[in-house]
């Protein structure tokens, strides 16, 4: 059970102050009856709540899959740069939403945005070994020697050890000395992909995240677009 004003505020109909005014104007019905008291108790699991004849279904956890573009930073707010939260429509935006992990400003691809703190912690914790898969274009010729080095675990910047990672060489352009690779990690150190590639004498030219655990980048999403996760996708993430 919860107060009616909290129910409506949680569903982003406005601040607690704003929804109190909505309720007092008689715009809210609970189980067919107009309610004008913001203190009225509702059962979010079974009561039928309507605002101006529109049914309001209660939801306290939200999950979005975004195809992050380059040039946008992975943060909730910033005084200079555009953030991933700035890409949200007003109807979907909530103050408690946050991105799970970070993608560099010049990195694009899969980004999970939610208000589910326990799930975010689980996905990011190294002890749970949740895989993150990236696709990169690299300046330099990646080799089987590099595959072995990544598999054994690299030391980056002289003293920082990385867990073993799986390097897959998809193609090589010997004339341009460029390699197309995928890299599967189970941790998320700062600039990790770029620093690992640098440790074997190459340079990342562009980078995209394709997967986090069971969650795949949706090819139907253009850069900057997002969608809600399906029930199946949420269940799979929670089972990792």
Residue partners of 18: CB distance under 8 A and separation at least 6: 9
Catalytic residue among 86, 104, 106, 170: 104
- Quickly count: other Cβ atoms within 10 Å of residue 171's Cβ: 10
Distance, in Å, from the CA atom of 171 to the CA atom of 208, rounded to the nearest integer, reads: 16
Distance, in Å, from the CA atom of 240 to the CA atom of 186, rounded to the nearest integer, reads: 13
Residue partners of 209: CB distance under 8 A and separation at least 6: 68, 103, 107, 108, 109, 110, 111, 132, 133, 134, 135, 217
Region 188-206 average pLDDT: 95
Quote the pLDDT of residue 126. 82
Distance, in Å, from the CA atom of 161 to the CA atom of 157, rounded to the nearest integer, reads: 9
Distance, in Å, from the CA atom of 184 to the CA atom of 180, rounded to the nearest integer, reads: 14
Distance, in Å, from the CA atom of 49 to the CA atom of 54, rounded to the nearest integer, reads: 8
- pLDDT tens-place string over residues 19-50: 999 999 999 999 999 999 999 999 999 999 99
Quote the pLDDT of residue 12. 85
What is the chain's mean pLDDT, rounded?
Answer: 95
Q: pTM higher than 0.95, yes or no?
A: no
pLDDT at residue 146 is higher than 90: yes
Instruction: Judge whether 106 counts as a catalytic residue.
Output: no
Cβ pair 136, 171 in contact under 8 A? no
Quote the pLDDT of residue 155. 94
């Amino acid at each position: 059970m919860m107060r009616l004003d909290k129910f409506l505020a949680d569903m982003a109909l406005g601040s607690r102050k704003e929804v109190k005014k909505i309720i007092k104007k008689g715009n809210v019905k609970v189980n067919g009856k107009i309610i004008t008291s913001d203190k009225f108790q509702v059962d979010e699991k079974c009561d039928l709540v309507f605002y101006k004849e529109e049914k309001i279904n209660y939801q306290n956890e939200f999950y979005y899959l975004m195809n992050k573009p380059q040039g946008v930073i992975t943060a909730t707010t910033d005084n200079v740069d555009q953030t991933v939260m700035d890409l949200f429509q007003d109807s979907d935006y909530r103050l408690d939403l946050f991105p799970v992990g970070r993608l560099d400003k010049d990195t694009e691809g899969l980004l999970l945005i939610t208000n589910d703190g326990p799930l975010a912690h689980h996905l990011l914790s190294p002890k749970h070994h949740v895989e993150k898969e990236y696709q990169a274009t690299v300046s330099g010729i990646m080799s089987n020697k590099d595959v072995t080095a990544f598999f054994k675990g690299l030391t980056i910047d002289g003293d920082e050890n990385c867990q073993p990672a799986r390097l897959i060489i998809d193609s090589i352009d010997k004339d341009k000395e460029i390699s197309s690779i995928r890299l599967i990690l189970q941790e998320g150190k700062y600039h990790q992909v770029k620093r690992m590639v640098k440790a074997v004498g190459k340079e990342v030219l562009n980078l995209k995240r394709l997967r986090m655990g069971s969650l795949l980048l949706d090819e139907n999403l253009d850069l900057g677009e997002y969608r809600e996760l399906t029930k199946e996708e949420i269940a799979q993430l929670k089972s990792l």
